[in-house]
Structure 1
Amino acid sequence: MKKILLSAVAGLALICSAAAQTLPVTPHSFVVVAHRGNHLSVPENTVASIEAAISAGVDYAELDLRTTRDGKLVLMHNGTVDKMTNGKGRVDSLTFDEIRRLQVKSNDGKVYQVPTFEEALQACKGKLNIYLDFKDADVAETWRQIQAAGMEKQVVVYLNAKEQYKAWRKIAPGMPLMTSLPEQITTPEGLESFLKNVRISVLDNIADPAMIAVARKYNVAIWQDVQSESEGPAQWQEAIDRGIQGVQTDHPEALVRYLNSNGLRDGVVRK
């Protein structure tokens, strides 16, 4: 479960922007996010996982962004390449050429490379939105590449630090931003105060009905992480019944089938 590092609401209020933050268009009101792409049969955070997510019919691929030593933006969840590739070392200590020579570990005998952000953008363009887990990257360069790809209306950025909020609001004030709820906010009143001062389009993993009602009042979507070892229909239905607007899953094909077969592709509307 990701924890956001945003701190005092008062400090954030000083730099919030009134610019509109419209979420990307999706064919259904209940969105399905493929966690690190659809990585059931291909490696996560690869172009292949993006293509598999498109084939599964989801609305977003959640992709993790990091920066190499020489400033190249690449997809990688962990801070090191150890888990996902046949190499070792921190992403930010390796050059792009060094990372590019590595092979991503797989079970199908095929060769996969660590993709650049530019390659991910091109794979998604016009086909799939991106839930960008903004791990460690330069906001200005990320925004430049999004614009160059013509993907300005197909990205939501998940924040991992308060400094990222400030930078995105300054450089791309219209970018829809997503965050986890700061740990100190535990009541509906606290959430209302937060949302009055901080321009956020999506919050994740809120389950309390009163808190969900506050988010709905401020037109803030709630997306829940359902990925786990026990993920299945029970977890999906529990999330849907809360009246939230989307889920992130490790089983996108099965979830999309479940939603379609039960008439739930638009979720459950709560008044």
Structure 2
Amino acid sequence: MIIKKIPVLLVSTLCLFGVWVKGSNGPEQPNLPIRAEAALLMDFHSGRVLFSKNESEKLFPASTTKVLTAWVAIKHGELNEQVKVGKEVSFRSPGESTAWLKEGQTLTLRELLIGMMLPSGNDAARTVAVHIGKKHLGTPNISDEEAINHFVAMMNQQAEEVGANHSHFMNPTGLHHPEHYSTAEDLALISKAVMKHKDFQEIVNLQNFTNPLLTYQNTNKLLDSNSTYYFKGTNGIKTGFTDEAGYCLISSAERNGKEYIAVVLKSSQDGVWKDSTTLLNKGFSTSP
């Protein structure tokens, strides 16, 4: 009789142990058909993670980097201050995304951020970095390269302050560099922090922008009511692409007081929109 009872006890113990292990890893997550290499869905208000896939994997963030670039600029600049475009825009390489800035133009910092976030202008990102870097150092006569390097140091410090400790940024644009990387989790933390700024919210929620000098269309198709990828309630945030990074998107949407941030890294051209929509739909179908 004792011999017969031992297997039953062992099975019971293992079952209990299995339940305990499962619980120790946190709540069970839904099995979503996410094709991207990494993804994460976060409740904007509580910070609760509703879904994650390879959230700590270090990947190339491409132009989603510009979310952090904009945050540093907003924190250390004034949106109505005048900024003169310098020689930094001449560094544009073939195929780079651009805001079509010209040396000698004068724009407000807000207009530069719009040029950086809507069409993903690398020239606008460099101009912002040069301006804020020199302003923060209080030495306007330093080289553009020194100013950009200082700005990048500010970016890394800002990321660390919100707990984005698995990222390292080498430039303000997101152009490929082997030591320029982030994670889905870190980008969600950065985005959650910067989306608390009303000015940033207003910029990334623009579908298009026109002034006497420039006209921009937002690359975020979830915002475009004429796009097949339109997602009701979308209010940001940023697209990204390089050959090495694949297609990336940080998206945000709000409906009836509920708001979610979705991060998708290293997806396909079509999949980046489908993955993001799948994540956001999961958020809004989740009970409070």
**Range of TM-score over shorter length:** under 0.3
Task: Give the TM-score normalised by the residue count of structure 2.
Answer: 0.26
Q: Which has the higher helix share?
A: 2
